């Protein structure tokens, strides 16, 4: 038993690393099959990411919403729920931030931006809390409700933008004046779209860690996440925790959307289909083993790959869809740890033998 535990803690670092390597190998194999040069492609990818201050800044821009949505999915996971609805929560956060900012046109940015951020986060949280509420009160599986709410959010957001904030003749909202951009960094990053959201995202990761592992509310939430029956037995209010966990999860997602609008685009599009932020968040959470620090690193990996894929596409002609294949494979190897362990087995055995000697 003890031995098992030691391997397990080792695994929590080794498995993701091995999975990433395996995923990149799968990507290389797919490229070889498609007659591309994987070395050329991967180096083009890396060059694109770290090639210039502008690209570094833009990579940070790409990573930021992934940290938020990754935290959102991971937080729900830790409380025993699967939030597939981060996508919808992002949209609701986005729409709320847009609506608040455009309604407060002319108000000083020091007032309007914080208000928009708070409103966007809260709105995302409330949207997610619907699924939490339905689970707590009626026992309805949150996977189904969050999927359904994604579409409702999509159409609802489009309705709001099209009917109240449409820029004439365009399929997007009017421009938002209030901005969360970090203009003082613009010169360093060569006008890349860096914004305050990145700082908030890192603060959110820290909050995640402290709240869940250091506070009594977090203790309760983890108990509910691991074993609802025991939590109930111990006198905890499971339903309230479920709703609260979904709310906090949704706040993270809502902030992702908020900063995309306030920090990056400064307007909101009418979306034909789901923009996919939430599904990326699932990938990031799984990659990061649902731990806030893991999530930050996973977001950097995913964001880097995604941003770099354009370079890869340009220099080596590889379709950027390859990144999805790589990410999918990495998650596959993490989820099916048995495969990784199977591959690692000879190494473990060797090490054990060495210890005996």
Partner 1 sequence: MSTAAAAPVVELKQITKRFPGIIANDSISLTLRKGEIHALLGENGAGKSTLMNILFGLYQPDEGTIEMNGTPVTIDNPNKAIKYGIGMVHQHFKLVQPFTVTENIILGMEPKKGLNIDYKSASAQVAKLSEQYGLQVNPNSKIQDISVGMQQRVEIMKTLYRGADILIFDEPTAVLTPQEIEELMAIMRRLVAEGKSIILITHKLKEIMEISDRVTIIRRGKVIDTVDTDKTNPSDLAEKMVGRSVSFKIDKDEPNIGQPVLEMNQVRVESKEGVSLLNGLDLVVRAGEVVGIAGVDGNGQTELIEAITGLRKINSGTITLSGRSITNLPTRKIIESGVSHIPEDRHKHGLVLDFSVKENMILETYYKTPYSKGAFLDQRTIGEYAGKLVKDFDVRTPDIETKARSLSGGNQQKAIIAREIDKNPDFLIAAQPTRGLDVGAIEFVHKQLIAQRDQGKAVLLVSFELDEIMNVADRIAVIYGGKIVGEVYPKDTNDQELGLMMAGFIDKGGQKGE
Partner 2 sequence: MDVLTLLGQLLNSTLVFSTALIFTALGGIFSERSGVVNIGLEGLMIFGAFAAGVGTYYAQEAGMGSAAPWVGVICAIFVGILGSLIHALASVTFKADQTISGIVINFLAAGLTLFIVKLLFDGSAETPLIKVFHKQAIPLLRDIPIIGEGFFNAYPTTYLALILVAVAFYVLYKTPFGLRLRSVGEYPGAADTLGVNVSRMRYIGVMISGALAGLGGATITLTTTSLFSHNTISGQGYIAIAAMIFGKWNPVGAFGAAMFFGFSQAIRNYVQLFEWSRSIPQEFIFMIPYVLTIIVLVSAVGRASAPSALGTPYDPSKR
The entry of partner 2, partner 1, none near residue 346 (CB within 5 to 8 angstroms by kind) is none
Could you identify the residue written with the tokens 């925790």? 241
Query: Among residues 32 and 140, whose Cβ is nearest to partner 1?
Result: 140
* Out of 168, 338, 354, 355, the residue judged to bind partner 2 by CB under 8 A: 338
The answer to whether 223 contacts partner 1 (rule: CB under 8 A) is yes
Whether residue 296 contacts residue 202, with contact meaning beta carbons closer than 8 Å, is answered with yes
* Out of 11, 339, 344, 348, the residue judged to bind partner 2 by CB under 8 A: 339
Q: Which stretch binds partner 2 (CB under 8 A): 5-13, 37-45, 257-265, 278-286?
A: 278-286
d(CA 18, CA 327): 13
The answer to whether 355 contacts partner 1 (rule: CB under 8 A) is no
CB of 188 to partner 2, least distance (A): 34
The answer to whether 283 contacts partner 2 (rule: CB under 8 A) is yes
The answer to whether 148 contacts partner 2 (rule: CB under 8 A) is yes
Whether residue 264 contacts residue 61, with contact meaning beta carbons closer than 8 Å, is answered with yes
Number of residues that bind partner 2 (CB under 8 A): 45
The entry of partner 1, partner 2, none near residue 214 (CB within 5 to 8 angstroms by kind) is partner 1
d(CA 208, CA 210): 6
Element (H, E) at 132: helix 109-138
d(CA 157, CA 163): 10
Could you identify the residue written with the tokens 């690692």? 344
Whether residue 161 contacts residue 270, with contact meaning beta carbons closer than 8 Å, is answered with yes
* Out of 13, 32, 140, 234, the residue judged to bind partner 2 by CB under 8 A: 140
d(CA 120, CA 256): 9
How far from 280 is each of 71, 162, 165, CA to CA, in Å?
11, 26, 28
* Out of 37, 232, 337, 344, the residue judged to bind partner 1 by CB under 8 A: 232
The answer to whether 315 contacts partner 2 (rule: CB under 8 A) is no
* Out of 155, 226, 314, 347, the residue judged to bind partner 2 by CB under 8 A: 155
The answer to whether 219 contacts partner 2 (rule: CB under 8 A) is no
* Out of 273, 346, 353, 354, the residue judged to bind partner 2 by CB under 8 A: 273
d(CA 53, CA 106): 33
* Out of 164, 207, 279, 348, the residue judged to bind partner 2 by CB under 8 A: 279
Whether residue 180 contacts residue 264, with contact meaning beta carbons closer than 8 Å, is answered with no
Reading the block at residue 309, the tokens are 């894929």
Q: Nearest-CA neighbor of 86 among 66, 116, 64?
A: 66
Cα–chain center distance at 273: 19
* Out of 91, 231, 245, 323, the residue judged to bind partner 1 by CB under 8 A: 231
Query: Among residues 139 and 169, whose Cβ is nearest to partner 1?
Result: 139
Identify the three-state secondary structure at position 208. helix
Interface residue list for partner 2 (CB under 8 A): 30, 34, 82, 134, 138-141, 143-145, 147-149, 151-152, 155-156, 158-159, 162-163, 272-274, 279, 282-283, 286, 319, 321-325, 327-329, 331-332, 335-339
Site for partner 1, rule CB under 8 A: 1-5, 214-217, 219-220, 222-223, 226-227, 229-237
């Amino acid at each position: 038993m003890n031995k098992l535990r030691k391997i397990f803690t080792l695994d929590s670092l080794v498995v993701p690393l091995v999975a990433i390597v395996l995923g990149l190998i799968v990507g290389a194999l797919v490229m070889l099959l498609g007659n591309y040069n994987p070395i050329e492609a991967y180096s083009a990818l890396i060059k694109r990411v770290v090639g210039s201050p502008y690209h570094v800044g833009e990579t940070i821009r790409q990573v930021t919403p992934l940290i938020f949505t990754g935290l959102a999915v991971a937080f729900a996971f830790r409380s025993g729920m699967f939030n597939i609805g981060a996508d919808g929560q992002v949209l609701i956060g986005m729409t709320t931030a847009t609506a608040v900012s455009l309604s407060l046109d002319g108000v000083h940015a020091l007032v309007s931006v914080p208000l928009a951020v708070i409103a966007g986060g809260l709105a995302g949280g409330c949207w997610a809390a619907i699924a939490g509420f339905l689970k707590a009160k009626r026992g309805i599986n949150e996977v189904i409700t969050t999927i359904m709410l994604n579409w409702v959010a999509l159409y609802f957001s489009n309705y709001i933008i099209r009917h109240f904030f449409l820029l004439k003749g365009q399929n997007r909202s009017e421009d938002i004046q209030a901005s969360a951009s970090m203009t003082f960094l613009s010169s360093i990053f060569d006008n890349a779209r860096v914004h305050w959201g990145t700082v908030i995202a890192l603060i959110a990761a820290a909050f995640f860690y402290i709240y869940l592992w250091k506070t009594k509310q977090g203790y309760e939430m983890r108990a509910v996440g691991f074993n609802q029956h025991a939590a109930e037995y111990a006198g905890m209010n499971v339903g309230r925790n479920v709703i609260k966990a979904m709310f906090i999860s949704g706040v993270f997602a809502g902030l992702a959307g908020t900063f995309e609008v306030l920090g990056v685009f400064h307007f909101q599009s009418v979306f034909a289909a789901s923009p996919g932020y939430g599904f990326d968040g699932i990938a990031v959470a799984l990659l990061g083993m649902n731990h806030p620090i893991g999530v930050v690193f996973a977001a950097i990996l995913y964001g880097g790959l995604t941003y770099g894929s354009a370079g890869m596409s340009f220099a080596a002609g590889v379709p950027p869809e390859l990144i999805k294949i790589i990410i999918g494979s990495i998650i596959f190897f993490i989820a099916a740890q048995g495969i990784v362990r199977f591959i690692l087995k000879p190494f473990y055995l060797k090490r054990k033998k060495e210890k005996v000697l």
